[in-house]
Amino acid sequence: MSSPLPFKVALVGYGFVGKTFHAPLIAATPGLLLHTVVSSDPAKVLADHPAVKVAPDLDAALADAEIDLVVIATPDPLHASQAHAALDAGKAVVIDKPFAAALDEARALVDHAQRAGKLLSVFHNRRWDSDFLTLRALIADGALGEVVQYESHFDRFRPVVRDRWREKPGAGALLDLGPHLIDQALQLFGPPQAIQADLAVQKDGGQAPDYFHLVLRYPRLRVLLHASQMTIDSRLRMAVHGTKGSFVKQGLDQQENALKAGVVPGSQGWGADPQPGTLTTPDGDGTASREVAGVPGDYLAYYATIRDALSGHGPNPVPPDQALAVMTLIDLAQRSAAEGRELSL
């Protein structure tokens, strides 16, 4: 590393993900400095961050000895090659999800980072969603007992095909949204015994799957992960049923909307969830329900932990083996859907 603090960051890509998520979170994290942005549109970058350097390409950023950390927020097919280049240049690397476009690419990156002795992490930011943190706290407190069914949704109503890489052949909802739901399930319950997947193109003129339904089988537990872009009533976020209670949550975490609106991460009220979930438990011959206030979401925690890991004072928030586990299930899901059968891990 060129210096202890602040660690200087090069952000590669200033499309929706780079502009909306990574740039403001990096800029708001003490101990990190958004130093360089790789973009073909300097005016767009400088309008938001006038003090940064704008590099025309990745090579120019990697040639800068001051850069400590490279954050890759480009289209999925570029993740592997750009991460390899950054590791070759001696930089630590954060990659936006998915880890890579394919499982073999992800495995090669893990091997490369181990040989290089450099930090490699994947931006699974939805570990810090309010709904997920709330559910994890309920499970830890024993409020649900043993969870026997976990249903997690990321539904939207976007019926019109847009001209963007996420909707081109080879992309689709499983690679875009699947990493969020799969990573959360693995964090809660560990690896399943088997997976069965259904993928579909439901939009008129669609070129990539915009629907997926995954069933992860455990000895007793069943995990249902679902995403659709043709769901008009898309309020359901999760329904979790255990031996002592059920937790139902509607509405997505609000941090993405706050970032879109330009709210500074960490400002007053950051991460608050305006839609409490409902916990229902047995009550005599009936049931009783109460609202459960959400634990505030905290995407800043990811980059704060990255800073600490770079300083040698904490663990990688999403180490490569955990990101590789997500990619393994995505690969199995694709094969399961193609073959029309359940596949064991």
Contact indicator for 254, 297 with CB cutoff of 8 Å = yes
Domains: count for the chain: 2
Residue 13's region, left for phi above 0, alpha for psi from -120 to 50, else beta, is: left
Pick the last residue of a domain from 88, 123, 158: 123
Residue 184 shares a structural domain with residue 83 = no
pTM: 0.95
CB-CB contact of 195 with 215 (8 Å): yes
Both 31 and 80 in one domain: the answer is yes
Instruction: Quote the domain boundaries for residue 209.
Output: 126-298+329-344
Q: Are residue 249 and residue 144 in the same domain, yes or no? A: yes
Instruction: Tell me whether residue 76 is in a domain.
Output: yes
Q: What secondary structure letter does DSSP report for 293?
A: P
Last residue of a domain, which of 103, 123, 143?
A: 123
Whether residues 19 and 115 share a domain: the answer is yes
pLDDT at 171: 84
Q: What is the pLDDT along the chain (345 residues), one digit of tens a residue?
A: 444 689 999 999 999 999 999 999 999 999 999 999 999 999 999 999 999 999 999 999 999 999 999 999 999 999 999 999 999 999 999 999 999 999 999 999 999 999 999 999 999 999 999 999 999 999 999 999 999 999 999 999 999 998 887 888 888 999 999 999 999 999 999 999 999 999 999 999 999 999 999 999 999 999 999 999 999 999 999 999 999 999 999 999 999 999 999 999 999 999 999 999 999 999 999 999 999 999 999 999 999 999 999 999 999 999 999 999 999 999 999 999 999 999 999
- Distance between CA atoms of residues 85 and 95, nearest Å: 13
Q: What is the DSSP string of 145-161?
A: -SEEEEEEE---B--S-
Res 4: pLDDT: 67
Cis peptide before 98 (omega within 30 of 0): yes
In a domain, 189, yes or no: yes
Contact 213, 152 (CB under 8 A): no
Residue 306: inside a domain, yes or no?
A: no
Residue 240's DSSP bridge partners are 150, 247
- Cα–Cα dist 173/142, whole Å: 33
Q: Does one domain contain both 78 and 201?
A: no
Based on the domain organization, do 133 and 111 belong to the same domain?
no
117 CB contacts (<8 Å, ≥6 apart)?
A: none
What per-residue confidence (pLDDT) applies to 2?
A: 43
324 in any annotated domain: no
Residue 211 inside a domain? The answer is: yes
Do 339 and 239 reside in the same domain of the chain? yes
One domain for residues 205 and 338: yes
> How far separated are the first and last CA of the chain, in Å rounded?
39
pLDDT of residue 166: 82
- Tell me if 312 is assigned to some domain: no
138 with 117, same domain: the answer is no
Asked whether residue 11 is domain-assigned, the answer is: yes
Angle between helices 320-339 and 103-116 (to 10 degrees): 170
* CATH code, 106: 3.40.50.720
CATH number, domain at 230?
3.30.360.10
160 C-beta neighbours (distance < 10 Å), count: 9
Last residue of a domain, one of 105, 123, 141: 123
Same domain, 118 and 213: no
Q: What is the pLDDT of residue 170?
A: 82
Does residue 133 share a domain with residue 96? no
Q: Note whether 151 and 111 are same-domain residues.
A: no
Do the domain assignments include residue 311?
Answer: no
